[in-house]
Structure 1
Amino acid sequence: MQGLMMDDQLLLTAIMRHAEQTYPDQEIVSVTADNPRHRYRFRDAFQRCRKLARGLQLLGASPGDRIGTLAWNDYRHLEIYYATSCSGLVCHTINPRLFPDQIEYIINHAQDRWLFIDPMFVPLLEKLSSKLVAEGYVVLCPADQLPDTSLPNCISYEQLLEECTDEFEWPALSEQCAAALCYTSGTTGNPKGVLYSHRAMVVHTYATLLPDVFGVGRQDVVLPIVPMFHVNAWSLPYGAVAVGAKLVLPGPKMADGETLTDLINTEGVTISAGVPTVWLALLGYLRESGKSIESLTRVVTGGSACPWSIMEEFEQEHGVYTHHAWGMTEMSPLGTYNARVPDTVPADKARALRMKQGRAAFGVEMRIVDDAGTELPRDGIAFGALQVRGPWVCERYFRSDKSALTADGWFDTGDVATIDPDGYLGITDRTKDVIKSGGEWISSIELENLAVGQPDVAEAAVIGAQHPKWAERPLLLVVPEPGANLAPSALLAAFEGKVASWWIPDDCVIVESLPHTATGKISKKDLRTQFENHQWPQEEPA
C-alpha cells in the first residue's frame, strides 16, 4: 500500500521560492573586489537570479551543462549557485588555490561550458585558456571594471544581467537532476568529481539545520568563512536562505582577521564556520588589537582537527563555543557534528568529548571495519577503517562507470577512527597518514593536538618517517610562534605521561613553515617526501 501524500520533488528551487516569499526583506551583506560592503535583500537576490538564468540561456547553456566558478564568497557567487542549479544547469565550483594543472584538468574533465570568475583570477585563466574547453568567460564585475584581457569571449557579469529581463519561469525538474559538482583536492592522482543531486542537497540542508547540528534559525546572522568553492560552504548558502537567516559573506577577505572582526561586530554575526587556520588568524588579530566579538556565540570548525588551544581561547576570552564537525566532499559534506556538551559533564570528560568529531547527523550511518571488512565494536577503543552510507553520500564519481562503494554498499572514507558507545566519532588518522611502528598503530592526530597545545607552538605536524629497526617512527615538525625560541627536547618531554611512551616521537625538527594543500590542510605527502631520509638521533626508543 502506498501513502496518500503529494509527491512534490525535493528541489533547491523550493528553498529559493520559500525564502523569496517568506523572508523577502532579509539581508545579504558581502565584501567584493568592487564594493567593500555590498548590501541587498533576498528579494533583490532572487530577482537577479532570474536575470542570470535568462542570461545563461542567451549564452547557449542547456540543461545539464556545467557552469564553472572560480569565485570567493559573495552575493554574485550566491546568485550563480541558485540560477544555475534551479534552471537545470550544474554549478561547478572550482578551488582557485589548486595548482594550475589541476584547475586545467578539472575544467576540462567537467567540460565546463562557461566560466564565471572573480577579477583576480583573470591572469590565472589567461595562462590556461588555450588549453581549456570553455566557450567563454564572465568576469564578476561591472562593465566599467572589466579587465583588459586576452580571454576569448569575455564579458562582464553586470553587463550580462543588464541585458536580461527578470521574467523567467523556473523549470519543473526531477529531484534526481544534478545540481552541483565539486572535485576532491586530488592529493593522490587526479581530482575526482562528486556530482550532487537536488534531492541530496535538500535532504542534506534539512540535516544541517537540526538543533544538534548547525541549528541555524531566523534569528541568526551567518558568516560562512569556509569557501563556497569548498563543498558548497558546508551547505550554509542553502541552510541560511531556507530559514531566512541574514548572510554575511567575506569575499576575498576570509583569512583577514581585521575584516572578519569588523564584519562580526558591525553585522551582528552569531555563528560562523571555517577551518582551524582561519580561527588562528582571527584569534591572533583579536589578541593583538585587544578587540572583542560580542555578538558571536559559536563557531563550527572542520577540515582538520581543531587544537584545544583554539577552543579554549575562544571560550575563555570571548565566550564563543567551538563545535567540531567532520565530513568530506563525497558526503556533501556533513558526516558528524559535535553538539554542545552539557555543563554538568566534568571538565576533563567534556574536553575529551569535545576533541572528538561528534555524533552522526541523522541520515548518515557509520561503521568501522578491520582489514577483512569485519565490523568492529563501538567501544571507543577499537579503531579501523571508517565507512559511511546515506542519501547524500557519493555512489560513484562523475564520468566514472565504476562504483565507489564496497561490495555491501558502503563508502570507504579513507579515515581511521573509533566510535564510542555513545556514538561519538574519533578520527585517529587518514589511512595513508597513520603511523605503523613495530607493527603497532600510532595516531598522528592525537600527537599533533598535544603539540599544538604547548606554549609558543603556532603549528605542528607528525609524520611517520622510515626507521631501520621499527619500519616507521613518529617525527614531530613544529612551527614556532614569531619570536619564540623552542627547544626540541622540551617539546618532546611534554608528551610524557600523556601518551604511551612508545608513541612519543623520536625526534623534533623546528621548521619555518609547513606545506599546505589547496584546502588549507597540512600536506603530509609533501612532508614525507621532504623528510624521507631523515637522520634519527642515535638513541633508539625503548
Structure 2
Amino acid sequence: MASTIPGQMMHVPLLISSILRHAARHHGDTEIVSRRIEGDIHRYTYRDLQQRARQLAKALHALGVEPGERVGTLAWNGYRHLEIYYAVSGAGSVCHTINPRLFPEQIEYIANHADDRYVFFDLTFLPLVERLAPHCPQVRGWVAMTDRAHMPASEVSLLCYEELLDAQDSDYAWPEFDENTASSLCYTSGTTGNPKGVLYSHRSTVLHSYGAALPDSMALSARDCVLPVVPMFHVNAWGLPYAVPLTGAKLVFPGKDLDGKSLYELFETEGVTFSAGVPTVWLGLLDHVKKNGLRFNTLNRTVIGGSACAPAMIRSFEEEYGVQVIHAWGMSEMSPLGTLCKLRVKHANLPREAQRALLEKQGSAIYGVDLKIVGPDGQELPWDGESFGDLLVRGPWVIDTYFKGDKSPLVNGWFPTGDVATIDADGYVHITDRSKDVIKSGGEWISSIDVENVVMAHPAVHEAACIAISHPKWDERPLLVIVKKPGAQVTREEILKFYDGRVAKWWIPDDVVFVDEIPHTATGKMQKLKLREQFKDYVAPASA
C-alpha cells in the first residue's frame, strides 16, 4: 500500500482570535448594539471591539493571568462580555462563563472546581459576588464590569473594568498557538449531582461557528441583524458570539431585560432579522405581541431550542407573524449545535400538514455531527421514523472527557446524549423524550414531549408538563401538570377530551393537575425531576 503524503497548504491554526481579526478587518464598521446595565444603549463597531479586546488582553497579562488559567464571568449579553470572550481566549487563557441562575452553592462549586483566577461580573450580580467571595479563596480579584462613575460600594475589594482597559493601549498582537488549546469552559446544569465542565478548544469552536452559519443551519450572513436572547452564559449563547462576527452580521445584545416588551422594542428599533432562544422566552414575547396587536417588521426567522418547541408555538410564529421557526437540538457537550430543522427540495410539493410534521421534528444533522440510535443491546436501529432508541453522537465539537474527569463518558467512541429519539429515512431526528422522562406503560413507551405538545395547542394552556406516576397494573401512567393562561377557565374533563383523535387512547393522561407554576432549571428547561418528587405518591382517580 502506498504511503500518504502531506498537503502543501499553509499551517494557519484555527483560533478564536482569527474570527475577531476577520470581523474587524472586513466588517470593521458593522455595529454592535447593547442595552447596558447602566440603563442606556451603547453602540460601537467590530473595529472598536478588537481594539478594546486587545487592551483587555494586555490588562489580563498585567494582572498575571497565565495561558491555560481560567477567567470566570457572571454577566448578561453585552459588549463587555463579548470583549472578555475574545480577550481571554485570544490570549491563550480559558473563558469560563458561569450561569448566575444556578443555586449559589452550585456556583461556588463551579468557580472552585474551575479554579477561576479572576471573575468579571455585571453590577446586578454584586450581591451574589459578595456571597461567593469568602468561599472562593483561589479568586485573586473580582472585576465589576462598569466605569468608575458606576462602581458600587462593597465589602469585597473590587477592580473596575474600564480602569483596567484605560491603563493599557491596543498595541497587542494575538499570539499563535496550537488550535487544540482549550478556549472556553461551560458547566452543565447539574440537575443530577454536581455540574460537569465541558472544555472547548479553539479548533472545535471555529469549526462549530462554520457549522452554525451554514445555509441549512442558522444561515447567517452580513445582511443579518442578530439578537441572541439565549444567554452568553448558556453554552456560549449557542455559538452566536463567534458565528455572527465570522459572517460580519450586526449584533444586538439585550442585557438583563428579557421580557416581551423589552425584546420587542429592540427587535423593532434595531431592525433585528434573526434571533435565538428557549421556548419560555418566546412565550413572553408572543404574549406581549398578541395583547398589544403588534407585528414584526424585520424579524424573519428564529432558532428555538434548549427544550422541545410546541407545534402551537411554531404555527403561531409562522402563520400569525410570518416568522420562520428553525427547531434545533443540541447540548452543552456538543458546543451545542447538533441538528436543525429545515425542509429540502424534495419536500416542496408535500401537503402543508406533512411539511409541518417534518418541521416539528428536531431536524437533521449539520456537517460536523454524526448520530445514531441504539437499542438496549447497543445495536444500531434502522432509520425508519418508527424505531426509537438512545441517541448517540460524535464529531469534532463533541466532548471526549469532562473537565478534570477521570473517565470518558463515550461508548465505543460515541457520546450518549440521554435522549430517546427516532430517525427517519432522510435523517430527520425526532426527540421523543429524555431517557429519564419517558413513560413506560404496560411495556410500551409513551413520549411525554408528544403528550405536552398536543395540549399546548389548547387556548387555555400556558405551559404543560407530562410525568410518570405509579400504577398498580400498568407500572406507569402519564399525569399532566398544567399552568393555565391568566384568566383562562378550563376543567380536567375538557383537557382530557382535547386529546380525542389526537393521540392513541392509551396515551391519554390518567389525570390533570393545575398548578400556578412549573419549576424550571437555570437554562429554562422544565424540572420534571422536581415534579416527579412532588407527585411521587399521587394516585389518579382511574387508579384509586
Q: Take 2:432 and 2:504, find their aligned partners in 1: how far apart are those partners?
A: 15
2:99–2:522 CA contact under 8 A, matched in 1: yes
1:2 Cα deviation from its structure 2 partner: 1.6
Which one of 155, 160, 163 corresponds to residue 156 of structure 1?
A: 160
Give a deviation string over 1:281-312, Cα, whole Å, max 9, x none: 11111111222211000010001111112111
SS in 1 for 2:239: helix
- Matched with 1:367 is 372
- Matched with 1:378 is 383
SS in 1 for 2:367: coil
Map 1:143-542 onto structure 2 (within 5 A).
143-152=148-157, 154-253=158-257, 255-340=258-343, 343-406=348-411, 408-538=412-542
2:472–2:543 CA contact under 8 A, matched in 1: no
Give a deviation string over 1:386-434, Cα, whole Å, max 9, x none: 000000000000001211211x200000000000001100000001111
Residues 88-97 or 461-470, more deviating: 461-470
Q: Take 1:509 and 1:259, find their aligned partners in 2: how far apart are those partners?
A: 33
SS in 1 for 2:533: helix
Judged with a 3 Å threshold, the aligned counterparts in structure 2 of structure 1 residues 61 and 539 are, in CA distance, closer, same or farther, namely closer
SS in 2 for 1:491: helix
SS in 2 for 1:273: strand
Judged with a 3 Å threshold, the aligned counterparts in structure 2 of structure 1 residues 509 and 289 are, in CA distance, closer, same or farther, namely same
2:343–2:355 CA contact under 8 A, matched in 1: no
Is 1:23 matched up with 2:5? no
1:278 Cα deviation from its structure 2 partner: 1.1
SS in 2 for 1:43: helix
Q: Supply the RMSD in Å over aligned alpha carbons.
A: 1.1
- Matched with 1:13 is 17
Gaps spanning 5+ residues in structure 2: where? none
SS in 2 for 1:363: coil
Map 1:93-108 onto structure 2 (within 5 A).
93-108=97-112
1:376–1:383 CA contact under 8 A, matched in 2: yes
Residues 300-309 or 530-539, more deviating: 530-539
Give a deviation string over 1:52-95, Cα, whole Å, max 9, x none: 00111111100001000010000000000000000001000010
1:46 Cα deviation from its structure 2 partner: 0.8
1:454 Cα deviation from its structure 2 partner: 1.1
Q: Take 2:491 and 2:352, find their aligned partners in 1: how far apart are those partners?
A: 30
SS in 1 for 2:470: strand
Which one of 105, 122, 128 corresponds to residue 124 of structure 1?
A: 128
Which one of 44, 47, 63 corresponds to residue 43 of structure 1?
A: 47
Q: Take 2:167 and 2:349, find their aligned partners in 1: how far apart are those partners?
A: 60
SS in 2 for 1:366: strand
1:344 Cα deviation from its structure 2 partner: 2.8
Q: Take 1:317 and 1:158, find their aligned partners in 2: how far apart are those partners?
A: 45
Q: Take 1:309 and 1:440, find their aligned partners in 2: how far apart are those partners?
A: 27
1:343 Cα deviation from its structure 2 partner: 4.8
1:150 Cα deviation from its structure 2 partner: 1.4
SS in 2 for 1:169: coil
1:480 partner amino acid? K
Q: Take 1:440 and 1:295, find their aligned partners in 2: how far apart are those partners?
A: 46
Residues 341-350 or 289-298, more deviating: 341-350
1:539 Cα deviation from its structure 2 partner: 5.6
Give a deviation string over 1:470-503, Cα, whole Å, max 9, x none: 2211000110000011111111111122211111
Q: Take 1:41 and 1:340, find their aligned partners in 2: how far apart are those partners?
A: 35
Gaps spanning 5+ residues in structure 1: where? none
SS in 1 for 2:541: coil
- Matched with 1:4 is 8
1:115–1:134 CA contact under 8 A, matched in 2: yes
2:469 partner amino acid? A
SS in 2 for 1:260: helix
1:435 Cα deviation from its structure 2 partner: 0.7
1:96 partner amino acid? P
1:329 partner amino acid? S
Q: Take 1:162 and 1:345, find their aligned partners in 2: how far apart are those partners?
A: 60
2:226–2:273 CA contact under 8 A, matched in 1: yes
1:294–1:318 CA contact under 8 A, matched in 2: no
Q: Take 1:426 and 1:164, find their aligned partners in 2: how far apart are those partners?
A: 51
1:340 Cα deviation from its structure 2 partner: 4.4
Q: Take 1:7 and 1:162, find their aligned partners in 2: how far apart are those partners?
A: 35
2:343–2:358 CA contact under 8 A, matched in 1: no
Identity percentage over the alignment?
A: 54
Q: Take 1:298 and 1:343, find their aligned partners in 2: how far apart are those partners?
A: 19
| Structure 1 length-normalised TM | 0.98
| Structure 2 length-normalised TM | 0.97
Q: Take 2:343 and 2:486, find their aligned partners in 1: how far apart are those partners?
A: 33
Judged with a 3 Å threshold, the aligned counterparts in structure 2 of structure 1 residues 538 and 234 are, in CA distance, closer, same or farther, namely closer
Give a deviation string over 1:485-541, Cα, whole Å, max 9, x none: 11111111111222111111101111111011110111000000000010210468x
2:510–2:542 CA contact under 8 A, matched in 1: no
1:40 Cα deviation from its structure 2 partner: 0.5
